[in-house]
Structure 1
Amino acid sequence: MLNLKLKRTLLTVAFLTLLTTFYGFEARFAEPATDAAASELAAVEPTDPAVLPLAESYQISVYDNIIRRISGEEGNDWRLMSAIAYHESRFTPDIVSRRGAKGLMQIMPVVARQFDVPQEQLLDPETNVRLANLLLNEIASTLRLPASVPEKDRMSLILASYNGGIGHVSDARRLARSHGENPDSWEVVARYLELKADPAYYEDEVVRCGRFTGYKQTRAYVDDVMKRYDRYCQVAK
């Protein structure tokens, strides 16, 4: 029984490494059918179409109820998931990238297969949001960050894994640890992600996923989503 559990754990880690590395590749090179590939996100203001005025409060999108309910069931902040959805698709439910990522959260078909979800359901907003939550939770579980890690660092490391690949983030954390630095600090890990383009670092024996050239895109992704999440926290409860 113990060996079976160990084998399942190793298979999950291997899957996430492959999945999120590919997922990060998708994020760097996909060309969505709408303006979702815009390089800079405007700060959310009351006039921003992503935040619709609703009486005395703010509605982030028409998918608030779905994102709030499912994220609550999965233990995630719905405003963070909304920030991801805005970045990924501008809340466009039927968007499909040229590499196959689909829906509000731009979920890859391989994610649906991992969670035994039929491919034809990927464009369903509820299914799409559920899969994004499940994937984030798998990443968080695999990273095994200590409870003492500040929430901003925790979120940033998870988002970086979601975008750039958990394998590369794990490499950067191992590099940080081997150089006597904090592997749980996003700023430290981000620096080593950038250094993973240098053979002096990506050829280090602790590195398992090789060279990483997507640092700028991943850094921008984390910064953009976190800034939008902070703003959503100010206007939506």
Structure 2
Amino acid sequence: MMLTLPTAGEMGVDDRLDPAQSIDGGARYLRHVKDRLPDSIQGEDRLFMAMAAYNVGLGHLYDARRITEQLDGDPDRWEDVREALPLLQKREWHSQTRHGYARGGEPVIYVRNIRRYYEILTYVDRSQQQYLQLNELNGEAVDDDGLLFEIVPPIQ
């Protein structure tokens, strides 16, 4: 999780190239951003908007939410806000915002890529579980070498 220099300082990350510090600082910053979103944003919408704000900045996300309202969309729904974010690249829109120009298409792609990667990981995990269950039903013992995918423990 890459952090800008000012954000790294804010999160107490001394070495942005140190994976452990960077991941820890990035996770704490994502939580910080998520906690600053309005309570009216719920569920997955809250997570997706936090990820978008992590990428483009909270101010630009708020600008996109205001544009969403102008377009009669729901500023609490990611589906509507993701349509407004790319408009921050257009002068006719960003000139009316508090935080100005942003590459608003990037957070949309960023969130989409994370969602897709999560879906892949979920599929792999589900496939592993089904494989183990089938072997168990067939009375076949499965040792660690029989796993389709190596189970990697979390970093302590």
Q: TM-score, normalised by structure 1?
A: 0.47
Q: Is the 8 A contact 2:37 2:46 kept in 1?
A: no
Give the whole-Å Cα distance in 1 for the aligned partners of 2:101 and 2:19. Answer: 35
Gaps of 5+ in 1: 1-104
Displacement of 1:190 after TM fit?
Answer: 1.6
Given the alignment of the two structures, is residue 150 of structure 1 paired with residue 39 of structure 2, yes or no?
no
Q: Is the 8 A contact 2:56 2:107 kept in 1?
A: yes
Displacement of 1:173 after TM fit?
Answer: 0.6
Question: Which position in structure 2 is the counterpart of 1:163?
Answer: 55
Displacement of 1:166 after TM fit?
Answer: 1.5
Q: Is the 8 A contact 2:64 2:84 kept in 1?
A: yes
Give the whole-Å Cα distance in 2 for the aligned partners of 1:116 and 1:226. Answer: 28
Displacement of 1:115 after TM fit?
Answer: 2.4
Q: 1:123 to 1:211 in 2, by over 3 A?
A: closer
What is the 5 A alignment of 1:71-110?
105-110=1-6
What is the 5 A alignment of 1:12-27?
none
Q: Is the 8 A contact 1:145 1:184 kept in 2?
A: no
Displacement of 1:195 after TM fit?
Answer: 1.8
Given the alignment of the two structures, is residue 135 of structure 1 paired with residue 29 of structure 2, yes or no?
yes
Displacement of 1:169 after TM fit?
Answer: 0.9
Displacement of 1:164 after TM fit?
Answer: 1.6
Give the whole-Å Cα distance in 2 for the aligned partners of 1:217 and 1:193. Answer: 9
Question: Which position in structure 2 is the counterpart of 1:112?
Answer: 8
Q: Which amino acid aligns with 1:164?
A: V
Q: Which amino acid aligns with 2:23?
A: V
Give the whole-Å Cα distance in 2 for the aligned partners of 1:115 and 1:132. Answer: 8
Task: Please tell me the root mean square deviation across aligned C-alpha atoms, in Å.
Answer: 2.2
Q: TM-score, normalised by structure 2?
A: 0.69
Given the alignment of the two structures, is residue 211 of structure 1 paired with residue 107 of structure 2, yes or no?
no
Higher-RCO chain (CA-CA 8 Å, sequence separation at least 6) = 1
Q: Is the 8 A contact 1:171 1:209 kept in 2?
A: yes
- 1:184 aligned to 54, 57, 76, which one? 76
Larger radius of gyration between Structure 1 and Structure 2: 2
Give the whole-Å Cα distance in 2 for the aligned partners of 1:108 and 1:208. Answer: 21
- 2:85 aligned to 180, 193, 204, which one? 193
Q: Percent identity?
A: 27
Give the whole-Å Cα distance in 2 for the aligned partners of 1:108 and 1:196. Answer: 21
**1:138-196 CA distances to partner (integer Å, 9 max, x unpaired)?**
1101112436x231x22221111111221111101122234432001112112211222
Displacement of 1:224 after TM fit?
Answer: 0.8
| More deviation, 178-187/130-139 | 178-187
Q: Which amino acid aligns with 2:122?
A: C
Q: 1:200 to 1:108 in 2, by over 3 A?
A: closer
Displacement of 1:200 after TM fit?
Answer: 3.0
Q: Is the 8 A contact 2:85 2:105 kept in 1?
A: no
Aligned pairs, number? 126
